[in-house]
Chains A and B, each alone.
Chain A
Amino acid sequence: MNFQGIFSMSRKDLTTLVIFSIVVLALPIWLQPFGAAYPDLMQKFAIFGILAIGFNILFGLTGYLSFGHAAFLGVGSYTAVWTFKLFSMNPIPALIFAVILSGLFALLIGYVSLRRSGIYFSILTLAFAQMSYNLAYSVLTPITNGETGLQLEAGDPRVLDSMFVAEEAGLPVSNFFGIEMSGIPGFYFCAIFLILGFFITQRIFASPFGMMLRGIKSNQTRMNYTGFNTRPYTLTAFVISGMYAGLAGGLMAVTDPLAGAERMQWTASGEIVLMTILGGVGTLVGPVIGAWLIKYFENIFSSFNESVLHNLFGFLPDGVEGFVVELTSMFVGEGWHLTLGLVFVLVVTFLPGGMMEGYRRITTLFTGGGGDGDKKAKADDTQTQPAE
């Protein structure tokens, strides 16, 4: 009986992985009706999905809220662009270096920040990220090219490429053994990493290590008195999530080979937190959903302008139309952050578990009535499917 439970769970993980992969790989198809099936946006979907699931390993499992993950994103991007400049336009070495360097950077920042917990930890990470931003913006200009951002140049050495590939005129594009990393191929390249990253996260969630991380979130005192040294656990989680962010930053550079300091700013760190909370902290797919929603609305709402609104509300009488357009125009275009803020307030107030909690509530609404048995089943549910 018990063993059945065990196997059905891992089968469940496998099912989740298969469904997730299909959904991701079919993005260009099912996004068509939403008007979002263009490569740039889908690349963002994949990249920010990686960023959010990585962040969730730290925040969702250990409860340590980092407010500085954009720093690792930035390190990943700069490293990738430098790898392009110095060695090769092939994305693989760029990503390897991006992940390693951001991991080392995370080790350094995490080692110091994790001496504190709660709000002090968050403030420390925020401070480090802002320091990194300022370094990238001004002090380290020779490395980061400051305000302008780091770009490819015609005179870059690219030692590996120059050995094998004939120099072409103009700036090169990153290419995976001949496949240019832009457009749809670029999206699929990122999508494969998203699926891979999702798979690794699943393994972490289902491992003893993942359980220890949850234990730290649940009761750190008990962890200590149970004989666990919690520091290496939190530090490992921090480094892993930093590496995910580095991978995401590297992929940004792969699809568009430039890196700017604004990628490391605190608003970028805040956006990662928003994505995770909006989708569902501590759940497997929640953060990805949060990332997609935010990136989708960012693109849709910010592209609305007054003429679009006039078309939309054209059926209204003149005076009313003017008023409605005036009102709604505050929430679109530049003001789309206002919409995001409102949605965020609503979600946190009514669905503290994010979109995934909404999904769970809807399914329980349809599958069973109230009563005590249901309550117990729900507890079982959270146990056997922490992955959701």
Chain B
Amino acid sequence: MTTSTENVVLHVADVHKTFGGLHALSDIDLQIEEGKTHAIIGPNGAGKSTLLNVVVGRLAPTRGAVVFDGKVLTGKQPHEINQVGVARVFQTPEIFPDLSVLQNVMAPAFAKRDGSFKLNFLSSLDDEHQIRKEAEEMLEDIGLSEQKLMKAGSLSRGDKRRMELAMCLMQHPKLLLLDEPTAGMSRHDTNTTIELLKKIKERGMTKVIIEHDMHVVFSLADKISVLAGGRIIAEGTPEEVRNNPKVQEAYLGGAH
């Protein structure tokens, strides 16, 4: 690795994951630097989502470890991993469909402020002015103010994704993991999301993005890792990756 390890905030160290006889991930060694946007690309079935699931604790690696901010995440529960500052946006939005949009965005702020459990059943939601204000500002930012009292389940797919992103941002995570944040979005929505993600980048939040859309990847990523067959076959700046013949063969098909 050419980078100094001081700035590495997430280190996926020598991770293997097998399902039965299938090697979903082999020898994955990934170092994500603080404040950078790191894209992971690769053809379908390359193991991108498996990798993300290992990081957030949904899957336990067969071998190896994930270290975040000096803490070993391997073996921790999803809520514990979130509590150390890792938030995740899913490929299919995971939201609270029965709660209002505003409540969806408020809930993560409670987890951030009160920890993983607090027995506050005699206080009133109405008295949480600070969290409500933050949530309303966030909704303003992503353009969902008008829908704040609607049930989140009745939002359009694109709006759900934006709201899920907003939910993660409410926690000011140190690391944000995005699993195809623009999949299924219109060109317009995609561009809005790119702008939003660029804004977060300016705030210095570290991001790992899994993405199919090369337009999104090349407009956001500082660094790209290319995954194919469960291995990292190339890594570098967008320019390096774009010009790497191995990558063109495996993934871009020479189109770029």
A222:B95 contact, CB within 8 angstroms? yes
Q: Could you tell me the distance between the alpha carbons of A2 and B122 in the complex, rounded to whole angstroms?
A: 22
**A208: contacting residue among B83, B125, B154, CB under 8 A:** B125
- Comparing B12-20, B61-69, B112-120, B220-228, the segment that makes contact with chain A is B112-120
B116:A9 contact, CB within 8 angstroms? no
Asked if B73 is at the interface of the complex by the 8 Å CB criterion, the answer is no
Number of A-B contacts (CB under 8 A): 121
Q: Could you tell me the distance between the alpha carbons of A2 and B145 in the complex, rounded to whole angstroms?
A: 12
B94:A222 contact, CB within 8 angstroms? yes
Asked if A221 is at the interface of the complex by the 8 Å CB criterion, the answer is yes
Q: Could you tell me the distance between the alpha carbons of A232 and B100 in the complex, rounded to whole angstroms?
A: 24
Interface size bracket, B side: 35 or more
Interface size bracket, A side: 35 or more
**A227: contacting residue among B95, B116, B126, B151, CB under 8 A:** B116
Q: Could you tell me the distance between the alpha carbons of A230 and B98 in the complex, rounded to whole angstroms?
A: 17
B79:A227 contact, CB within 8 angstroms? yes
Q: Could you tell me the distance between the alpha carbons of A222 and B164 in the complex, rounded to whole angstroms?
A: 10
Residues of B within 8 A of A383 (CB): 100, 102-103, 149-151
A2:B110 contact, CB within 8 angstroms? no
A205-219 CB mask vs B (1 if < 8 Å, else 0) is 011111110110111
In chain A, positions 172-207 with a C-beta closer than 8 Å to chain B are 203-204, 206-207
A226:B111 contact, CB within 8 angstroms? yes
Q: Could you tell me the distance between the alpha carbons of A217 and B103 in the complex, rounded to whole angstroms?
A: 14
Asked if A30 is at the interface of the complex by the 8 Å CB criterion, the answer is no
Q: Could you tell me the distance between the alpha carbons of A214 and B83 in the complex, rounded to whole angstroms?
A: 21
**B154: contacting residue among A222, A226, A232, A379, CB under 8 A:** A379
Cβ-closest chain B residue relative to A384: B149
Asked if B219 is at the interface of the complex by the 8 Å CB criterion, the answer is no
Cβ-closest chain A residue relative to B150: A379
Residues of B within 8 A of A228 (CB): 79, 111, 116-117
A225:B96 contact, CB within 8 angstroms? no
B195-233 CB mask vs A (1 if < 8 Å, else 0) is 000000000000000000000000000000000000000
In chain A, positions 306-328 with a C-beta closer than 8 Å to chain B are none
**B108: contacting residue among A227, A229, A233, CB under 8 A:** A227
Partner-B contacts on A (CB < 8 A): 2, 6-7, 9-10, 203-204, 206-212, 214-215, 217-219, 221-230, 232-233, 236, 240, 376, 379-380, 382-384
Known: A206-B126, A214-B103, A383-B100. 9 other contacts (CB 8 A): A10-B126, A203-B121, A206-B125, A208-B114, A225-B82, A225-B94, A226-B79, A226-B87, A379-B151
Chain A to chain B contacts (Cβ below 8 Å), 22 pairs: A207-B120, A208-B120, A208-B128, A210-B125, A211-B125, A212-B110, A215-B99, A224-B77, A224-B79, A225-B79, A225-B87, A225-B90, A226-B79, A226-B82, A227-B83, A227-B115, A228-B79, A379-B150, A379-B151, A380-B150, A383-B100, A384-B149
